[in-house]
């Protein structure tokens, strides 16, 4: 039975009540943390993608900040993810665990944060991907496993030292058999008037064999602690209209509706790396706004249950076709450092 379960998980899928945080062993498993300080307007993100090539695993690493515009990325030649629990390591450059994150991409690109008072994903049959998590060999799965928490620690970002203590914390994991999907859109926000609120969404062109469809998922942690998830194609579909500067989402279920509007100026966006796992290289392929605006309205029937606005939201739009085209145009190197904010 254990071997059958291991073989099933190696496709990227998880059984109901399974643990999506343990490594599956697919082409790419991405780990992402976001720290938000609404009072100062500061935001820091850290990312680690564990990528599989024919000769072993390597990592895509990144550390970025708003409003400073700081970005440091790297490709690390050796990396591993824990097959039994949440855990990721890339030499001395990156180590992520449920309650601590340490990043060292140079003397001016470091982070060391402990996470306290966590607000984890509630125990349910399914994670962020819903019933899709049980379908083997999808090109993308998504699970926002930490919907709040308190940061205690510091970051060195270029010439600035930031105290992140008291900041709000969000973390997620995404993975898939082929790396990143052909195109995707994503967003996350804290920094609402009520610090217990948290919003995240993720969408992509998802495929497995002959199955190919566009899926968008929305997760909202309401101030009272309830967690809503919309995005099942039949019972709670989400419609998304996305450009590099605007995100409009409408999610509906028999009981709930969630409307999201987001906006970020393209000149303020970071250009984040996207891994090509088999090729052992990163290419610039995702525009991410770290200090965007997001408004959210949640209704039960016709009654508004909660609405909020954040001025420190994250909004992302990416695509592999664009990434490869940009890499070909630039003659992209295996890794990039100190990439500037997007100026297109």
Residue 302 DSSP class = T
Judge residue 330's burial from the number of C-beta atoms within 10 Å of its C-beta, 0-12 exposed, 13-18 middle, 19 or more buried.
Answer: exposed
Say if CB 75 and CB 280 are below 8 A apart.
yes
Whole-angstrom Cα distance, residue 73 to residue 286?
13
Q: Give me the pLDDT at residue 324, please.
A: 61
- Per-residue tokens: 263: 């906006």
Q: Give me the pLDDT at residue 341, please.
A: 33
> Does residue 336 form part of some domain?
no
Residue 20: helix, strand or coil by DSSP? Answer: coil
> Does residue 30 form part of some domain?
yes
CA atoms within 13 A on the CB side of 244: 16
CA atoms within 13 A on the CB side of 87: 6
Domain count, the chain: 1
> Does residue 277 form part of some domain?
yes
Whole-angstrom Cα distance, residue 259 to residue 77?
42
Whole-angstrom Cα distance, residue 294 to residue 288?
14
Q: Give me the pLDDT at residue 338, please.
A: 39
Map tokens 């970051």 to a residue.
Answer: 155
By C-alpha distance, which of 219, 50, 79 is closest to 146? 219
Whole-angstrom Cα distance, residue 196 to residue 222?
7
> Does residue 23 form part of some domain?
yes
> Does residue 343 form part of some domain?
no
Q: Give me the pLDDT at residue 104, please.
A: 98
Q: Give me the pLDDT at residue 205, please.
A: 86
Q: How large is the C-alpha radius of gyration of the chain?
A: 19
> Does residue 181 form part of some domain?
yes
> Does residue 148 form part of some domain?
yes
Q: Which residues of the chain have pLDDT under 50?
A: 332-344
> Does residue 109 form part of some domain?
yes
Provide the domain limits for residue 109.
2-330
- Per-residue tokens: 206: 């998802």
Cβ neighbour number for residue 331 with a 10 Å cutoff: 6
pTM for this one?
A: 0.93
Neighbouring-strand partners of residue 248:
241, 261
Q: Give me the pLDDT at residue 321, please.
A: 66
């Amino acid at each position: 039975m254990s071997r059958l379960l291991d073989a099933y998980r190696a496709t990227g899928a998880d059984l109901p009540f399974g643990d999506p945080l343990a490594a599956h062993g697919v082409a790419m498993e991405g780990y992402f943390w976001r720290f938000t300080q609404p009072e100062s307007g500061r935001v820091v993100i850290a990312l680690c993608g564990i990528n599989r090539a024919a000769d072993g695993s390597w990592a895509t690493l990144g550390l970025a900040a708003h409003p400073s515009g700081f970005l440091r990325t790297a490709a690390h030649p050796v990396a591993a993810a824990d097959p039994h629990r949440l855990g990721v390591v890339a030499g001395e450059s990156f180590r992520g665990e449920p309650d601590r994150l340490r990043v060292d991409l140079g003397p001016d690109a470091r982070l060391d944060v402990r996470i306290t008072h966590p607000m984890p994903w509630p125990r349910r049959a399914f994670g962020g991907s819903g019933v899709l998590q049980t379908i083997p060999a999808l090109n993308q799965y998504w699970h926002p496993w930490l919907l709040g928490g308190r940061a205690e620690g510091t970051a060195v970002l270029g010439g600035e030292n930031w105290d992140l203590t008291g900041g709000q914390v969000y973390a997620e994991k995404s993975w898939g058999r082929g790396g990143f999907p052909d195109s995707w859109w994503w967003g996350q926000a804290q920094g609402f008037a009520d610090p217990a609120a948290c919003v995240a969404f993720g969408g992509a062109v998802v495929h497995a064999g002959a199955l190919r469809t566009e899926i968008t998922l929305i997760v909202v942690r309401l101030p009272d602690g309830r967690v809503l998830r919309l995005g099942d194609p039949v019972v709670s579909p989400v419609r998304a209209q996305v450009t590099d500067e605007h995100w409009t989402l409408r999610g509906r279920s028999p009981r709930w509706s969630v409307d999201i509007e987001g906006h970020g100026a393209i000149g303020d966006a970071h250009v984040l790396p996207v891994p090509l796992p088999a090729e052992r290289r990163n290419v610039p392929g995702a525009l991410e706004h770290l200090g965007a605006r997001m408004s959210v309205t949640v209704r039960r029937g016709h009654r508004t249950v909660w609405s909020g606005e954040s001025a420190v939201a994250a909004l992302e739009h990416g695509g592999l076709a664009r990434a490869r085209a940009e890499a070909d145009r630039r003659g992209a190197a295996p890794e990039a450092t100190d990439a500037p904010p997007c100026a297109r």
